[in-house]
């Protein structure tokens, strides 16, 4: 009985941290932030994981300490909870990605212990050196325009709640 009670408390704490922590984008460099706004007219929206270069996915896998960074396409099945019913399904599902000159911005759902959404910015000026330069939690965002509005309004967060959250931030 105690084991279930402590898990419930942990879930409630994590959910409150993940939903109330918006408004703290503290690690996105101001020149990159400015570039994201200035490049809005040059954005190409991608809605299939097949259209995201392997180097971008590998950069995400490296940050997430995983061998690969499996992600379902929009509308496909994925493991949205920690109650794993099909181990062949990925724990992430792409909502959309934006291709900008020198960058990819991925917005996706992440299942598991506490369902949430992420935004990840990958530097892609040199495909051999693709690198995650920023990631954060987000509310639901329909497109790149809504991402920029959320960034401007402080509705994203890259603040970390502690070591537990850092281990599976992506």
**Residue extents of the structural domains in the chain:** 2-166
Count Cβ atoms below 10 Å from residue 9 Cβ, excluding itself. 10
Phi then psi for residue 33, to 5 deg, are -55, -50
Instruction: Dump pLDDT digits (tens) for 62-118.
Output: 887 777 788 889 998 887 666 767 777 888 899 999 999 999 999 999 887 777 888
Q: Dihedral of CA 71/77/82/87: which sign?
A: negative
Pairwise CA distance, residues 40 & 159, whole Å: 25
pLDDT on residue 67: 72
Return the number of other C-beta atoms located less than 10 Å from residue 154's C-beta: 11
């Amino acid at each position: 009985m105690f084991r279930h009670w402590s898990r419930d408390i942990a879930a409630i704490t994590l959910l409150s941290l993940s939903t109330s922590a918006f408004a703290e984008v503290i690690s996105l460099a101001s020149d990159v932030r400015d570039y994201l706004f200035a490049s809005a007219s040059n954005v190409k929206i991608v809605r299939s994981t097949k259209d995201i270069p392997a180097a971008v996915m590998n950069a995400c896998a490296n940050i997430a300490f995983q061998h690969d960074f499996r992600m379902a396409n929009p509308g496909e099945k994925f493991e949205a909870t920690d109650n794993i019913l099909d181990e062949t399904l990925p724990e992430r599902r792409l909502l959309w990605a934006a291709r900008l000159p020198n960058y990819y911005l991925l917005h996706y759902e992440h299942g598991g212990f506490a369902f949430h959404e992420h935004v990840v910015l990958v530097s892609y000026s040199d495909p051999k050196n693709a690198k995650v330069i920023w990631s954060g939690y987000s509310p639901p965002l329909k497109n790149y325009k809504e991402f920029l509005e959320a960034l401007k309004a402080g509705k994203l967060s890259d603040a970390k709640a502690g070591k537990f959250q850092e281990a599976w931030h992506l």
